[in-house]
Structure 1
Amino acid sequence: MTMREDSPAPRSPHRAADDRDPELPYPNGWFALARSRELTPGRVLTRRLADEDVVLYRTRDGSAYAVQPYCPHLGAHFGAGGTVEGRNPMCPFHRFAFATDGACVSTPDGPPPRARVDHHTVRERNGFVLVWRSHDSSPPTWEVPDTAPAGVTPTASWATNIHAHIQELTENTTDLRHLPVVHKVTIWKVDPVRADGPYLHTSLRLGPDGPSLLRKIQWDHTFLLAGMGCLRIELPLPTLGLVIYLWVMHIPTGPRRTRLLMATGCADIQPSPHARTALLRYPVHRAIARSMLWTAVHKVRDDMRIWNTKRYEPRPRLTSGDDAIGFYRHWARQFYPAS
């Protein structure tokens, strides 16, 4: 199930002009340009990354690839009518074919020229197609991890566009002060933020704010941030024998523009060895994942009112209780070019 996407974020009349905002470059890292189910064999998709088009395609054997968009022959865009034949993407203008290593391998009426298209590095993890992006086109320096057990993939998703730099969104994970103010939740327990190279880990125990009866409801959330692009939140429900996975993928699409892709999945804490039992529980898993997605979308829309109108403060006046934000900003430096 894929929910209807929100419309692009409007330019806020309360926001200063773009050229007055402090500038942040695009970060290096892995970015989820599509869900795996969107990229069927033979299909071509165009997605935006760091103010450039990236063309995704899947060969008939199921492998996913990503190329720069323009044919080196006469500049046609592979995403504007391009096709895939076997393992080769075909230019829509003159049907030049290119191998998965980028080399032109055939034309309709003669030997192929010495031409090639550049490929991006691609990984598929937990139902997402991720593309590596770096400021100097260097190869990946770290891998995006599996963020859920094998076979657990999203069954519901939603996406929107936000007028803010990607760092503003991912920094939200460590901004504990906004949780009771914006989301009306009570924080019961916080584990210190821990960095492991390009990965950031933390966990929170949260509950709804309100009458004492509601305040007895508490949930443990475990957060894994892999670079600035991939956030996974794990929410176990032991009384139901279930665990919910929420993926929040951030994709920098242009100057102070971020595409936000949220997706949810649900699984048994102890998977049944019997295929029939697993099949019968699948509709329950989908319903719970869908419910979790709606809840998460509601919370994110509260954040969007802030994101779409705020500006980035390069030297924030932090106070006690903001230690995790300072920690996050120090950790985030590794994804930018050295100054």
Structure 2
Amino acid sequence: MADPVATDARTAPVAVWQILEKLKGKDLTDWRTAPVPGRASVAERNLDIGFPLGWYPIDLSANLAVGEVKPLRYFSQDLAMWRGEDGKVRVLDAYCKHLGAHMGHGGKVHGNLLECPFHAWRYDGEEGTVKEIPYSKSIPPQVKRKCTRTWHVTEANRWIWVWYHPEEAAPLFDVVHLPEATDPEWTDYDIYEWNVYGSIQNMAENGVDVAHFKYIHGTANVPLGDLRWGEWGRGADVKAKMGTPWGEVDGQISYDTMGPGQSWTRFTGISETLLVACITPVELDHVHVRFCFTQPRAQAEGERAGVARAIIRDICKQFDQDKVIWDRQKFEPNALICEGDGPIAQFRKYYSRYYVK
């Protein structure tokens, strides 16, 4: 039987009607990052499956100056990040092995070492050892050898990335460098931010869940496109006719990932757009998301500027709609899949490679 024709405004997609319809301006941006009270526990939602391994973005490169220290929390761990005098970024677990001070709050950069604010113990970011204790004639042998976790760090696409692996294994693949991200002919990033109180896997699965586009986003249909499944990355190319003020044009949406934490989408046809999606778990039920958009200056600042901005608004609107679901979604390990759902089972089999069994 065909779906009945909707005649009541309240039959619009539930997420839009109940929560998003009246959110505008600052109210909307505040909602995107505000805590979600009353959600079920991690255990109740089956979210206690660990964090998938991979490279994850933690901050914009421009946000960390030489000699600066910053506290961070990702992967259910407190971290301290600093940029040494050599310009290199280093990250350690945050707590000093001496008396437990959080070195991200008040810590100092001493050359390329991180100095604890409590008693000035100085840590090497590569070795994870204490190199200097200014007031002591000796260094305890326990901290002369590796005594704290060190994190693999790289910078790419104007972001600082750390490698997460639950067993601290070395990186299995590299961050993909995107030429548009640093091309002077493309705009600076236009950045939008969310806190999603759910599972990074549920979020990723959304891309192959074809059926939800009609009921959450109100689209008539969404072609799945040509899927690509690589060793550590996956993607899809979707071709479509797109209406513009200048007539119908051939457009394409090309989506790619490298591991769970790096995702990027290229939109061509109406106005070229690169979306760099920076997605990083904070806790098992909390994911920090930042969407970075860049477009050719000639289009973003020319006669098509309005269309270019409209593309960004529409992408963010769709993410808002999904967030309403994700914020309280349970992970169903034995999900009941029906015809028309899309390749969810294939996706799950593929995504399992990111977990250490």
How would you bin the TM-score normalised by the shorter chain? 0.7 to 0.9
Q: Which residue of 2 aligns with 1:160?
A: 194
How far off its partner does 1:257 sit?
1.6
Q: Which residue of 2 aligns with 1:319?
A: 338
Instruction: Could you list the structure 1 runs, at least 4 aligned residues long, displaced by more than 6 angstroms after superposition.
Output: 211-215, 287-290
Residues 324 and 9 from structure 1, CA distance in 2 versus in 1: closer, same or farther, beyond 3 angstroms? farther
**Cα deviation 1:156-207 (Å, max 9, x = unaligned):** 2122211211101111121222223322335565433221111011122357
SS in 1 for 2:182: coil
In structure 2, C-alpha distance between the alignment counterparts of 1:38 and 1:21, rounded to whole Å: 35
Equivalent in 236, 246, 252 of residue 220 of structure 1:
252
How far off its partner does 1:233 sit?
0.6
In structure 2, C-alpha distance between the alignment counterparts of 1:96 and 1:182, rounded to whole Å: 53
Output aligned runs, 1:96-115, within 5 Å.
Answer: 96-101=121-126, 102-111=128-137, 113=139, 114=141, 115=143
How far off its partner does 1:86 sit?
2.5
For the Cα contact (< 8 Å) 1:223–1:231, is it kept in 2? Answer: yes
For the Cα contact (< 8 Å) 1:186–1:206, is it kept in 2? Answer: no
In structure 2, C-alpha distance between the alignment counterparts of 1:50 and 1:24, rounded to whole Å: 12
Residues 167 and 148 from structure 1, CA distance in 2 versus in 1: closer, same or farther, beyond 3 angstroms? farther
Q: Does 1:284 align with 2:315?
A: no
For the pair shown, which has the larger CA radius of gyration, 1 or 2?
2
In structure 1, C-alpha distance between the alignment counterparts of 2:247 and 2:138, rounded to whole Å: 69
For the Cα contact (< 8 Å) 1:49–1:254, is it kept in 2? Answer: yes
Where does the alignment leave 5 or more consecutive residues of structure 2 unmatched?
1-27
Output aligned runs, 1:126-145, within 5 Å.
Answer: 126-145=157-176
Residues 149 and 17 from structure 1, CA distance in 2 versus in 1: closer, same or farther, beyond 3 angstroms? closer
In structure 2, C-alpha distance between the alignment counterparts of 1:112 and 1:185, rounded to whole Å: 68
Where does the alignment leave 5 or more consecutive residues of structure 1 unmatched?
269-280
Q: Does 1:330 align with 2:330?
A: no
In structure 2, C-alpha distance between the alignment counterparts of 1:246 and 1:212, rounded to whole Å: 20
- CA-based RMSD of the aligned residues comes to 3.0
Residues 127 and 266 from structure 1, CA distance in 2 versus in 1: closer, same or farther, beyond 3 angstroms? same
TM-score, L = length of structure 1: 0.82
Q: Which residue of 2 aligns with 1:72?
A: 97
Residues 213 and 234 from structure 1, CA distance in 2 versus in 1: closer, same or farther, beyond 3 angstroms? closer
For the Cα contact (< 8 Å) 1:127–1:154, is it kept in 2? Answer: no
Q: Does 1:255 align with 2:257?
A: no
In structure 2, C-alpha distance between the alignment counterparts of 1:178 and 1:206, rounded to whole Å: 19
For the Cα contact (< 8 Å) 2:71–2:81, is it kept in 1? Answer: yes
Q: Does 1:236 align with 2:261?
A: no
Output aligned runs, 1:1-339, within 5 Å.
Answer: 6-12=32-38, 16-22=40-46, 23-101=48-126, 102-111=128-137, 113=139, 114=141, 115=143, 116-149=147-180, 151-152=182-183, 155-187=189-221, 189-205=223-239, 216=248, 219-237=251-269, 243-267=272-296, 284=301, 292-338=311-357
Q: Which amino acid aligns with 2:158?
A: G
Residues 235 and 16 from structure 1, CA distance in 2 versus in 1: closer, same or farther, beyond 3 angstroms? same
How far off its partner does 1:308 sit?
1.4
SS in 1 for 2:114: strand
TM-score, L = length of structure 2: 0.78
For the Cα contact (< 8 Å) 1:188–1:205, is it kept in 2? Answer: no
In structure 1, C-alpha distance between the alignment counterparts of 2:309 and 2:86, rounded to whole Å: 31
For the Cα contact (< 8 Å) 1:204–1:222, is it kept in 2? Answer: yes
For the Cα contact (< 8 Å) 1:105–1:112, is it kept in 2? Answer: no
In structure 1, C-alpha distance between the alignment counterparts of 2:79 and 2:173, rounded to whole Å: 21
For the Cα contact (< 8 Å) 1:31–1:132, is it kept in 2? Answer: yes
What is the identity percentage for the equivalent residue pairs of Structure 1 and Structure 2?
A: 21
Residue correspondences, number: 316
In structure 2, C-alpha distance between the alignment counterparts of 1:213 and 1:244, rounded to whole Å: 18
Q: Which residue of 2 aligns with 1:278?
A: none
